[in-house]
């Protein structure tokens, strides 16, 4: 039988909820996300890309702040990383 989250969130305390949503694990989620971004930034620099991290873009009355903008002479791409679990054996790049 599911129990209420120990942080008194209005949700059942499931593994999925704790990993993705609960305020108790927020700091860990942010650290994992930032670690992934740092690893990607280093790897892309080594491959010759110019990488800009968390730059604000304003257009059409909206603001956007992608995690990474990677560019080279022939084009550019954006990376918005998501960390959806905490099991290193299921890491995908």
Band of residue 87 on the pLDDT scale cut at 50, 70, 90: low
- Give ∠ CA 49-90-43 in degrees, rounded to 5: 15
Average pLDDT of the chain? Answer: 85
Residue 91: is it exposed, middle or buried by C-beta count within 10 angstroms (0-12/13-18/19+)?
exposed
pLDDT at position 7, please? Answer: 82
- Domain boundaries defined on the chain: 15-85
pTM, full prediction? 0.69
pLDDT mean over 13-32: 82
Tens digits of residue pLDDT in 53-85 = 998 989 888 999 999 999 999 999 999 988 776
């Amino acid at each position: 039988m599911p129990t209420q989250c120990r942080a008194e969130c209005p949700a059942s305390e499931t593994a999925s909820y704790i990993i993705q949503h609960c305020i108790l694990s927020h700091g860990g989620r942010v650290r994992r996300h930032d670690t992934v971004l740092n690893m990607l930034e280093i790897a892309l620099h080594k491959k010759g890309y110019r990488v800009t991290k968390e730059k604000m873009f304003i257009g059409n009355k909206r603001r956007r702040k992608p995690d990474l903008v990677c560019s080279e002479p022939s084009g550019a791409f954006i990376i918005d990383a998501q960390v959806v679990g905490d099991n290193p054996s299921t890491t995908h790049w």
